[in-house]
Structure 1
């Protein structure tokens, strides 16, 4: 980033590709997908595994492709190399998990529907992968801590809306770090939420907490990603030479 004579910034955008607009949308929708799937499993007459598989495949493909490119291209954004870790790696991990879920729901749709308890069946199948989900949760805690300690995520004043808080970097750092931490809470609780999960009863305890935090953060990431389509376009216009 190069300061302008007027005090603003000029950014060479050929050195700063970014996907956290579509990533945020897909990640938010993916979290809401998990919550929705848990609810749908309790309504067998309305549950269509193929539809949930298609949704997971679309979201998983977006997150896997963008996350893999950001993870493997170091640094993808020359100005912010830590974005590879913050946005790329969690997106890659979440994307692959969604693709695995899509494959399972598509290939085993008949088995799931014929099961006397589809929720319990899927919980048993997901249990081995829950270790990785738990690990991702710990990683998200690390990202949240880094965001607060190093005051990351702050937008420059040239960015519309978010840039209004440029003089107070702790505001956006707290907001984004809080989102990452809450998603991490759901991920850490996920292995324990699978225990006793069933289609015949409403989730309670740990499963409810995980569902609430993922539902809230999923909606937040979805809306924030949609907002970023305006703010990031404005930032590019305001900082291009």
Structure 2
């Protein structure tokens, strides 16, 4: 198998890492607010902006140019590109909201106040109100992720070629990686579908938020580790197919 790597780009490595970190940041920030812990809104704004920018940039490029079609995987441009673009834009929107809120809070001297001095309940109410409209788009993308998961199982997608180290050892068992990646997509999708219910007026349902936390904690860790591992496996694939 020979691939002309000068004709295409494969960067779902950093996309996977950014996705995993983004999910974990959402879980962590939510837990801080729910427990009434100290938060620095500017710091969290920057934290969301970093993976948000990466996912928006790479997701938009993959969505608009279909680079993976040049090596025989056009469906992966949809699977990886479009959800990354959607998640990246939502993270950037959250980053802007956090930054604006941090600037709006000030002490009598006019300097930014330590966000710990603001009541946690007020912050929870504010961000629930801010996040409610975009949560409907998140839920719609959650349905899309469920569809991708179903396609992954039905068409046995995601199997690595035999030239790829580690993952390629399971090339003869396509359902193994198809089931693993599809399960990740399905869990992220389930959390996204439940998001509007967790932000409903009246405080939402804590049980729903707990389910989202479990779904995104598991997938956040696995996406991060899988993306980190792919830095080795994708380098090996490139070397083995040059």
| TM exceeding 0.5 | yes
**Given that residues 41 and 102 in structure 2 are in contact (C-alpha distance below 8 angstroms), is that contact kept between their aligned partners in structure 1?**
yes
**Given that residues 9 and 67 in structure 2 are in contact (C-alpha distance below 8 angstroms), is that contact kept between their aligned partners in structure 1?**
no
The alignment partner of 1:10 has SS state of coil
2:83 corresponds to which of 73, 87, 90: 90
Q: Using the TM superposition, give the Cα deviation of residue 10 of structure 1 relative to its aligned residue in structure 2, in angstroms.
A: 1.2
Q: How many matched pairs?
A: 228
Q: Deviations over 1:169-200 (max 9, x none)?
A: 000000000100010000000000112448xx
What CA RMSD, in Å, does the superposition of the two structures yield over aligned residues?
1.6
Residue 74 of structure 2 corresponds to which residue in structure 1? 81
User: What is the CA–CA distance in structure 1 between the aligned matches of 2:69 and 2:25, rounded to whole Å?
Assistant: 29
Residue 223 of structure 1 corresponds to which residue in structure 2? 225
**Given that residues 18 and 77 in structure 1 are in contact (C-alpha distance below 8 angstroms), is that contact kept between their aligned partners in structure 2?**
no
The runs of 5 or more residues in structure 1 that have no matched partner are 1-8
Q: TM-score, normalised by structure 2?
A: 0.89
Residue 160 of structure 1 corresponds to which residue in structure 2? 165
The runs of 5 or more residues in structure 2 that have no matched partner are 106-114
Residue 8 of structure 2 corresponds to which residue in structure 1? 16
Q: Using the TM superposition, give the Cα deviation of residue 76 of structure 1 relative to its aligned residue in structure 2, in angstroms.
A: 4.4
Give the structure with the larger helix fraction.
2
1:134 corresponds to which of 136, 139, 157: 139
Q: Using the TM superposition, give the Cα deviation of residue 45 of structure 1 relative to its aligned residue in structure 2, in angstroms.
A: 5.2
Q: Using the TM superposition, give the Cα deviation of residue 44 of structure 1 relative to its aligned residue in structure 2, in angstroms.
A: 4.6
Q: Which moved further from structure 2: 44-53 or 72-81?
A: 72-81
Q: Deviations over 1:139-195 (max 9, x none)?
A: 001110111111110011111110110000000000000100010000000000112
Residue 193 of structure 2 corresponds to which residue in structure 1? 188
The alignment partner of 1:41 has SS state of helix
- Map 1:1-241 onto structure 2 (within 5 A): 9-44=1-36, 46-78=38-70, 79-111=72-104, 113=115, 114=118, 116-195=121-200, 196-197=202-203, 204-240=206-242
Q: TM-score, normalised by structure 1?
A: 0.90
